[in-house]
Structures are given as C-alpha cells and as structure tokens.
Structure 1
Amino acid sequence: MKPVCFFPKIAARAAVAFVFLAGQGIAEPSHGIAMYGEPALPADFSALPYANPNAPKGGRIVTGNTGAFDSLNPFVLKGNSPWQLRFFAYESMMGRNRAEPFALYGLLAETIETAPDRSWVEFTLREEARFSDGSPVTIEDVIWSYETLGTEGHPRYHTFWNQVAIIEATGPRSVRLTFNTDNRELALIAGLRPILKKAQYENSALTDATLENFPIGSAPYVVADFEAGRQVTLKRDPNYWGKDVPFRQGTNNFDEIRIDFYGDGEVLFESFKAGDISYAREFNAEKWASQYSFPAVQSGDIVKSEIEHQKPSGITGFVMNTRRAPLDDIRVRDALMHSFNFEYINDTMTGGRQPRITSFFSGSLLSMQPGPATGRVQQLLTPFADELPEEALSGYDLPASDGSARNRRNLRTAVKLLNEAGWDIVDGKMRNASGETLSLDILLPQNDNQNKAVVDIWRKSLEQLGIDVSVTLVDNAQYAQRTGNFDFDITKERRALSLSPGNEQRLYWGSGAVAQPGSRNLAGIASAAADAMITEMLTAETQDDFVAATRALDRVLTTGRYIIPIWTYSVGRIAHRKEMKYPDELPIYGDGADWMPQLWWWED
C-alpha cells in the first residue's frame, strides 16, 4: 500500500526501513492479534467471553481513593491524577482480552496488520470512531498521540516511541508504525497506546494541561464534575461512539462513577461501612476475616466476593535504592533481607493467612524453578555467571525464620554479611571504617497505614543490628515527586505482572531506565544479565523459549536482592453493594482495573 502522508522520525533510518520492508511478505488485516499463535476469538465474536452482553445499563456507584489529586491528566509526569482516568476515560486502538495471556482485539481500530516478523504494524481506524465532543478520531490524531506521548508525555511512554523508526499514514483511515528494534511485542504495545485529540493542543502543550483543561478522550466515560482534591464524577456518555463494537458489549454499564478521596485507608473503610462507598477492595486476609462482619454484611446489604485468578504473584514489598551507598552492595541488601522477619510479620499482620511471594513470577508457569538452573535457562544465564550471584545458577530460597519475634539465626547471618561488606558494631552502632553509622531512611505515603505497621516491626530488627532508621511520611504529591526523582533509600514497591510480560519489563528492571526521571525502575537495577533476559523474552518466537527467558529473568531479579517481598494476593477480595453484580465466568487475570467495575452492572 502506497503511503499518502509520510511522517519521518529519522531520515536515515527511514530509508533503511523502506528497503527492508520491500522484502517483507504480504500481510493480511485481522480483527485481532496474539503474542504467540492466533487470537482465540473469531472474527465474528459478539462479546468478550467473560462479559454479560445482556447486562442492564444504569445505576450509580461511589468508590474511594486515599490521598488527593491535583491533576486530571494521567499522561504527564507532573501532578497526581486519579488512577482510574486512564482506564475509564481514554481508549486505544485495541483492547485486551483478559481470558488470554496477551491478545488484543479491535477498539478504535477496525483491523490490525503486521509483517511476518512484526517489524511493522498497521491499524485501520473505524470510520465511526469519535471523541466525546463528537469530533472524529483521525489518523492525524493517532500520529500526534504517539509522537507527543513519546516525547512530552510521561516517561513510561518514551521507551516505546524510541523504538519507532517511522510512523506514516497509509490511507485516509490507516497508519503504519515501523520499528527499529527486533521486538515482537511492539506491535501489541502500539495497540494499547492512548489516543488523544490533536486539535485540543494547537495552542498549548500537553504538559500545560490544568485541572480545567484535561485531555479529551473517546471512551465510554467523561469527567462530568470534580472538586479539586476531593472528588471526581465520571458519567457514561449517552452518545458514546463504540456502543456496538463487539469488544464493548456488556461493559461500562454504570451511568455514573464517583471517586471520593480520603485522608487514609482507615477513614475510607469507615466510610464504606457507613454506606458512603459502594465497594472496597481488601488486600489483607486477616482484616477480611475479622473486620468484615459489620451490620451491612450481616444483613446482606454488603456481599463479600472472592475473585480467583491465574496470574503471577508479581512483586510487593520494600525496594532498596541501589543508586545509593551502601545499598549498592548486595551483601548489605542481603543482610536487610535476613533482618526482615517475614514469618513473624505475616502472622502479626495477616494471621499467617497470606503466603509469601517467593519470586517475581511465583505462582505461575513463568516462575523460577527450585534447585539449580537447567536446560535453556542455564544456557541463557551461564554467559553472565561472573556478574550474577552464585545462587542465580545454583538455586535460591528467601531467608526464613522460626516464626518467633527474635529471628536470632537470621540476624546473626545479617551481622556476618555486614561485616563482609566492611561494617562492624562499634559502641552499639553499625559503622564503616570511616566511623560513619549505617543510616537508612524509609519513605512512605502518610496514608499508608499497612506498610507503616510493617516497617514499625522491621525497624526494631534493624535497630538491633545497630542501624539508624528513620521513617519519613509525606503526602501523595511529595511521595510521587520523591520517588520520581529516586530521592529515597527504601520505599514500598508493587508491580503486578502478567502471564505475558514484555516491553514493560525494560521500564521496571532495564538499565536504560535507571537514570530516567519518573522511571518505574525504583531499585536502580543496572544488570547486563537482566537486560539480556528481557531481550530474549521480547524476541522469542516460541512459547518454550519465552518461558525459559522469563524464568531466567526471574532468577536474576530474585537473587539480586533488590526488593524484600512480602505476601502475595492469591485471590481478589471485593466487598460490594448487593445490587452490584458480575458475570459467572471469570477472566484468567481475575480482578483488575479493566474488569471491576467495567464488567459489573447494577441490578435492583
């Protein structure tokens, strides 16, 4: 297909790419795409398999966030916006089917087309696609959105854009992106980038958006009202363009979603008990078992639902900033891991009801296997044996205590590790050869009561080792600013991981993100082995090679002692109004921002 409008990024790369493309086989447009193999749903599918296409429309629900907000623009680094906006108010070319590891189907795009080697991807826009103001979504909007997000938007969008050699219109409603990197996932990632309205920013920059001038979207919900820092009201657009698109059948059923903001989680919970909030997600199994017997639960007005899933554990815990000494020393990090008495903390916090995360992908097919690395995993890791901890190849288990508060054996090991790293107890303090005390500051949001309680227990063990510990509590805006600038020693970490991890792994653990402000690589991981394993994942052409590369990455990350893991969320827990219903069939990913409340409905 001959381009009708050329939009170059780099002229030299464009010329090379044109010659390269001339040798590619002819691709065919499709209704969907999967990371491996063919998408599971046929071209004539009528609804997602876990959606209720007959769900009634109507009802109003209220949800709660902790903290506050000072922005309604979720696409830039500046400001703190409600996290729900990206999911509820904006759309991308494709939408994800949560019943498959990684497969996309047409949303703004009618079809998707790729080269056999996925060196390029082409989308054809639906003719009926509209923004919420009624104006058509155009190819110019699409091209502008990719470029602007990739250059002016939040840094999480930059990595993808840097792997685009050319973006060009190939017809009145079609656009092609040609990549400069051998990365089979890029075609799918392209399908998930949000599309914004170019004309809105003819006289201003995306980064200049104010509370009153937030981006216009094309999704089922629009911001109808807000009170700075306190509440945002989203209303279902009665003129939503995509109401007949198969991907949208049975979704976005509530007429209104209001987001109220609370100072901390306990205040939010009390408001839920009082009936001010329609639903609450609970992440603490002990609290779920002991504190959800209030009158509304007993009367049946509030229902407790447990949502199963098949996804990896991901990583939740306390991340150590390796950009700063002495946390750049793995022996110090290992000592801190030994000092963290998980068994005692877990019993105190959850009654021992939640199992520990044992690796970044634990609980799934993608997790590192017990014992020494074998087969393809061993082959991948062996070239990096000199830079990796020995346990990456020989096998590794997290430190475990006897469950008592004393944790003596692990504390003795911690002292030994610190001694090896050049630290010794002098006058009751852990000091280095220069007499400096080992001091650590733990940064947390002021409303994070659960992690604060965990740190209060852990802190006693650290002080037993002669380490000076301070805990700094800041508001959400300061927390976002400080973590975005890596201004911390230790802070909380939560990274949900999918059954098809890909390009986002570079943002989480890649060396290219270490110095990038706003990067999600909070630990500052700069590992050639991690980079190589991510590349292997992204270029794998078979499921077996992909699984081996992910297991190898899991070993690199886990044995690197970057994050002290706590408990896994093996089941989703949602307490909700009895009128709120959800389909019987659950997606393999269970609960998530694009399942609850999108797939739910109100039934009196």
Structure 2
Amino acid sequence: MRIFKNLNKCAITRAFSLLALVGSGVAAMPLATLADPAHGIAMYGKPALEAGFESLPYANPEAPKGGTIRMAEPGSFDSLKPWVLKGDAAWGVGVHVVETLMYRSIDEPFTLYGLLAESVETDENRSWVEFTLRPEARFSDGSPVTVEDVMWSYETLGTQGHPRYHGVWSKIARMEQTGPRSVRFTFNEQDRELAMLMGLRPVLKKAQWDGKDFAQSGLEAPIGSGAYMVDRVDPGRSVTFRRNPDYWGKDLPLNRGLHNFDTIRYDYYGDANAMFEAFKAGNADIWRELSPQKWETQFNFPRAAQGSVLKAEIPNERPSGIMGLVMNTRHPLFTDWRVRQAMIEAFNFQFINNTLNAGKEPRITSYFSNSAIAMQPGPAQGRVAELLQPFADDLLPGTIEGYSLPAGSDRPIDRDGMRRAMDLLEQAGWTVQGGKLRDVDGRPFAFEILLNQSGSAMRAASETQQMVDIFIEALRRLGIDAHATLLDSAQFIQRTNNFQFDMTWYERALSLSPGNEQMLYWGSAAADQPGSRNWMGMKSPAAEAMIQEIVTSDTPEEFTSAVRALDRVLTAGRYVIPVSFSPISRLAHSSNLHYPSDRTPLYGDWPGFMPELWWQEAE
C-alpha cells in the first residue's frame, strides 16, 4: 500500500482494517446487526462515526459561506435529467440539486449516514431494509419530502430510468409504506449490498414528473431537496446552481462544512485545450492536470507566477480502476483472446509513457490495482483459487496461473513484443499476404479506433490521440490497417451507448466497495443492454459468479477473496489495453479557494470532495 505525503495514515489504517485481514490470521469483524433504527450503516462492522457526531472528520465546520466557484467541462449538454438514458445531461444536477436517503462517507470503504432519512434499520441477513424520513426534509419549493415521493422515485427509476437502476429494482420483492414517514424494501434474493444501495437512489419530486414521459430527456429544471437549485441555463454552454438559503438540511451535522459556495457555475468548452486557456485567463477556478509532465512545465503562466493560482496534490488509496483502449468482442476481430493479447503486445506502454508522461506514472496492472483488494501476483492461492477452480476449463490462460502485462521497450517499436504479437496472430489464423494481415479468406485485418474530440474525465483528447497515433504506427508494421475517428461528445456518447465501435477509449472508476454495479460493468445481460458499461461485450459465467460472491460475502476475508478472483478474470480476459494512472490528483486552483488540507479522506479527490468541501475567502 502506497502512502503519500500529507496522507492521514490513521484514516488509512482505520478504513483498511476491514479489508486487509486476508492472510493475517486475525478473526473477521462480526457483522453489524441493526436490531434498532440507527443513524448509519456499514457494509461490514459499524460506522466509524457514532450517533451525535459533530461533522464529517474531513470537513471544516468553520468554513465560511459565500462566493462563487467556476468550473470548466468538456463538450456540451442538451438535458438536465441525468437519470435517463436519452440525452447528454449537464454535470452537477444529480450532485447539487437532488439528494438520497443516505450520504456516503468518502473516508470509509462503504459506510452511509442518514441524510433525507433520520434512521435505517435492517435484519441480520439484510433481507430487508427500512428507512424513516426526517420530518423537516423539504424540496426547494417548500413542500415536504414524503414516502410517496420515495416510492415513486424508486419505481420510476427502476422501470423508466437509466439501465443502471434496473438491476437493483428487479431484486426488490416488495416496497411498502410502514408508517407516516417510513418505507421498507424486502428483497427477493440474498444480497447484502442491497440494504446499502437502497439508501443511494435519487429522491425526486413526484408531483413534478408524474404523468410525463420520464424516459425523455429535457431541460426542465428539476425540483430537488438538495443544497442548490438550478439558477440559469444556457443550453450546451453553461449551467449555474444557486445555494438555497432555505435549504432544510443546512444545520445537519452531516452538512457542517459542506456546500459553502453561494454559486456553482459550469462552463462547457470544445476541448481540454480551450478549458486550460480559460483557466489560465481566470475564467475558471479549478483545473485538474492529468499529465505529470505538464504539471511540472506548464504552470508558469502569469496568474501562477503572480500567486493567483496555487497547486495542490491530493493523495488517495482507492483502486486504479481501468483505463485504456477497450476492444469490442461483439466484433469478430476481437472475439479471439489471442488477437486481444496481440493488441496488448503491440501497444508499447513503456515508450508511450516515457513520451507523454516522462515515465513518471505507474501502469494499471489490474482493475483493482493500487488497493488492498487487488489480485496478487503469481498463481491464485487459498480461497481465490477455490473460487476460480469450478471454472478452470473455461478460464483464459493466466487467470489461475498468474497474468502480467508485457514490459515494453524504451524504443518506439518493441521488437520482442511485436514478435509475440505476430505469433499470436498467426495462431489465430492471420498471416501477412501482400504486405497486409489477412485471414484465410483474404479479408484484411482493419478496424476503427473511436475517440471523443473533447477528451475524457481522465485524459485530454490530445494525449489519447498521441497514444493512438503511436499505436497505429506499430500496428502498420504488423500489416494491420487501423485508423482513428474523432467525434464530438454527443456522437461519441450515441455510438458507445449502442456499442457501435471496434475499439475506443474506456474509463471505469472503481471503489473499495465493488458490488451490484459490477454486473452493469461486466455482466452478460449488460452486454446486450444499450447504455450499459459493459463496452467490451464480455459474457463470463466466472465473472458473474465472483460478483455474486462479492455481494453475498459475510466477512471481509470472503469479500476480498471474491474481488481478487474477479480481478483475475477481468485482467486475464484481455479486454482492455491498460495505460497509466495517477495515485494523486493534481489540482491547480485560484488562490482564494481552500479545502481542508490537514485531513485528506480515504478516497481523496472523489465525488463529495470538490466543490462540496471547498470554500472561498476574500483575497
């Protein structure tokens, strides 16, 4: 486990004590049973904060209120409904305007504290969960948040909302009002995470949407119960949120030190270069720099030199997630794992990393790397091996024996890697004929690499384009005709939502508490479901079995073994050509903006950190 400068080691020790027990001989922490209504709920054990806590430990309860924060986003938007598949929703609506029954702490692997709900109750097996609403909870128009709103929201999202809501809804056997302010969900299968997930669904105002086609996108401003309201919208260009002076939850201990700005504004730009220029000119207050090389060399512009811009590095101990070029196995080219491994061999990561990042960023070695729940090097051991053994005959080479990525070369072409790639391609039936790689019927090996011209959350468009250009040149030496296509954000989203690509840029952030969402990422049903995150189209009984083990595990040891087994199935599946990741976030910001730098949460710069914890002081 890497520990970085200014990281609160006590927080890491406390939060990881639940997950790092494997192989230690320490008895598992007993499961928490909420025999009575409680203020919070944890996946294992008890919440770190006891009832009556004063504030979240990583917030500054003395932070002043007021001011404006301006942020830059790439691309455009045509909707204010992030809960449906249609449209390209503006960022921030689901974060600032609408609330959930429970609030997730970013200082613990998976713990929720009551937000709209004053209490949560469940049984030992977590076969049901019940929430009691706070009597003071109100929407921004002053109307109370009711059980009817909760039940309507859950059913509507589960049946008409984005596909990410459908899987959990199918596991609810019964939803019923059990009191004036209480609602109970009873589940139809064993799944310990469901009691947690029921606390994290958006609660919408029924009266606003009832009778309308909820599945349609639109620019109608949602009425939420959150700290902010939609103030101004310039479709496709900007959206501004105004803090609600009558926000019902402003005095909750959970909210002390949060939601400090009077105004939050998001401006949209064509690409990352335009965003950075806006930041340099003072038209945006925050910039996340993704390149360590640029972090060292490109922050000498006038505002930075004058001290109007400061640089901060925010560490974290969350999994790397997966990022890189994903291969669509729905395409006949990429159904053979040997072809996918050949693509990985041809991608000379060492040279690309040296070229773009001066070799300073570590590579993603597995989907959960950089964390205590990542797969371990070498052959599968103990419980991990036991979980995988029933699927041994169908697992790809390396899953049980151990899989690692090629080392690459510091030269533009990795000759050893290219030789291995050609051997694999020949085994798969591809040979060079007339200078082109062809199959037995003479069809050429040719495909398209789809890219978003606006870039992504973790990579600028120019950087991904450079990577792809180097990769395409290497592929040409194998006789492969690959070409890149750049699309605007709307076109890119439309095509990837419908899996209309051969290879494309792919990013999936993963947490310390993987669970039901993994089925949306890697499940067989999701492979055929437009809008799902299973872009590679994988259908793996082993992966689904490991996910089931994750959500039904009774101890941290069982949970960790199941995640490590899933990590092996995913990584050895060879679906993604992984690139580098950063174990820190590099944030440049206006000097009048501040955050609690003395208390970094476990997840670091993660949803719930910025702008929620930040504040502005007069210069």
Tell me the TM-score normalized by structure 1.
Answer: 0.95
Deviation at 1:202, TM superposition (A): 2.7
Residue among 109, 124, 127 paired with 1:119: 127
1:451 match:
464
> What does 1:163-312 align with in structure 2 at a 5 Å threshold?
163-211=171-219, 213-312=220-319
Cα offset, 1:354, TM superposition: 0.6
Aligned-partner residue type, residue 176 of structure 1: R
Contact 1:84 1:593 in 2 (8 A): no
Instruction: Give the 3-state SS of the residue equivalent to 1:118 in structure 2.
Output: coil
User: How far, CA to CA, are the matches of 1:102 and 1:274 in structure 2?
Assistant: 40
Where in structure 1 are there 5+ consecutive unaligned residues? 1-24
* Contact 2:65/2:615, CA 8 A, preserved across alignment: yes
Q: SS at the partner of 2:586? A: strand
For 1:58 and 1:360, the matched residues in 2 are separated by 40
Aligned partner of 1:429 in structure 2 is 436
Superposed displacement of residue 282, structure 1: 1.2
Aligned residue type for 2:329: T
Helix, strand or coil: the match of 1:326? Answer: helix
Separation in 1, partners of 2:452, 2:533 = 17
Distance 1:462 1:207 in 2: 42
Partner of 1:538: 551
Aligned to 1:81: 89
Letter in 1 for 2:589: H
Aligned partners of 1:171, 1:506: CA distance in 2, in Å? 33
Q: Alpha-carbon deviations, 1:80-109, whole Å to 9, x = none?
A: 012322111111000011111000000000
Deviation at 1:207, TM superposition (A): 2.2
Matches within 5 A, 1:520-539: 520-539=533-552
**1:183 corresponds to which letter in structure 2?**
D
CA displacement, residues 342-372 of structure 1 (integer Å, 9 cap, x when unaligned): 0000111111111101000111111111111
Flag structure 2 segments of 5+ consecutive residues without an equivalent: 1-32, 456-460
Name whichever of 282-291 and 527-536 sits farther off.
282-291
What secondary structure is seen at the aligned counterpart in 1 of 2:113? strand
Residue matched to 1:492? 505
Q: Which of structure 1's runs of 4+ aligned residues deviate more than 3 A?
A: none
* 1:469 and 2:475 correspond: no
Q: In structure 2, what is the Cα distance between the partners aligned to 1:451 and 1:132?
A: 42
Which residue is 1:372 aligned to? 379
Which residue of structure 1 aligns with residue 606 of structure 2?
592
Asked if residue 577 in structure 1 is aligned to residue 590 in structure 2, the reply is yes
Does the CA contact (< 8 Å) of 2:221 and 2:230 recur in 1?
no
Contact 2:136 2:248 in 1 (8 A): yes
- Displacement of 1:181 in angstroms is 1.8
For the residue of structure 2 that corresponds to 1:177, the secondary structure is: strand
Residue 325 (str. 1) matches residue 339 (str. 2) = no
Q: How many Å apart are 1:447 and its aligned residue? A: 2.1
1:470 CA drift (Å): 1.8
Q: What are the superposed Cα offsets for residues 374-401 of structure 1, whole Å, 9 maximum, x if unpaired?
A: 1001101111111112211111110111
What corresponds to 1:384 in structure 2?
A: 391
One-letter amino acid of the structure 2 residue matched with residue 598 of structure 1: E
The question of 1:129 aligning with 2:132 is answered no
Q: Deviations over 1:144-163 (max 9, x none)?
A: 00000011011111111011
Q: Which letter maps to 2:470? A: I
Tell me the alpha carbon deviations over residues 46-97 of structure 1, each in whole angstroms, 9 at most, x when there is no partner.
1101001111000111100011101111111111012322111111000011
CA distance in 2, matches of 1:465, 1:79: 40
1:215 deviation in Å? 2.5
Determine the structure 1 residue equivalent to 2:573: 560
- Residue 209 of structure 1, CA deviation: 4.8
- d(CA) in 2 for partners of 1:478 and 1:471? 15
C-alpha distance in 1 between matches for 2:158 and 2:464: 34
Equivalence for 1:340: 347
Say if 2:106 and 2:606, in contact at 8 Å, map to a contact too. no
Deviation at 1:115, TM superposition (A): 1.4
Asked if the contact 1:338–1:399 (Cα under 8 Å) also holds between the matched residues in 2, the reply is yes
Q: Percent identity?
A: 54
Q: 2:324 aligns to what SS in structure 1?
A: strand
Encode CA deviations 1:301-322: one digit per residue, 9 max, x unaligned: 1000000111111111111111
Instruction: Tell me what 1:140 maps to.
Output: 148
* 1:501 maps onto 2:517 in alignment: no
Listed one character per residue, the Cα deviations across residues 161-182 of structure 1 (whole Å, up to 9, x for unaligned) are 0111111100110000111121
Tell me the CA shift for residue 373 of structure 1. Answer: 0.6
Aligned partner letter, 1:44: G
Please tell me the residue identity of whatever aligns with 1:355.
P
Say which SS state the counterpart of residue 133 (structure 1) adopts.
Answer: coil
Q: What SS does the corresponding residue of 1:393 show, helix, strand or coil?
A: coil
Amino acid aligned to 1:527:
S
Aligned to 1:413: 420
Q: Please name the residue that 1:99 is paired with.
A: 107
SS at match of 1:391: coil
| Aligned residue type for 1:356 | R
Match of 2:52 among 44, 53, 56: 44
Contact preservation (8 Å) 2:527, 2:539 = yes
- SS class of match (1:524): coil
SS of 1:280's partner is strand
Amino acid at match of 1:545: E
Q: Do 1:156 and 1:507's aligned partners in 2 also have CA atoms closer than 8 Å?
A: yes
After TM superposition, the score normalised by the length of structure 2 is 0.92
**Cross-structure match for 1:159:** 167
Work out the CA distance in 1 between the residues paired with 2:589 and 2:194: 38
Contact 2:86 2:216 in 1 (8 A): no
Which stretch of structure 1 is more off in the superposition, 25-34 or 555-564? 25-34
Give a deviation string over 1:473-504, Cα, whole Å, max 9, x none: 11111111111100001111111111111111
Count of paired positions: 579
Match of 1:14 in 2: none
Deviation per residue, 1:521-559 (Å, 9 max, x gap): 111111011001111111110001111111111110000
Separation of aligned partners in 2, 1:26 and 1:482: 45
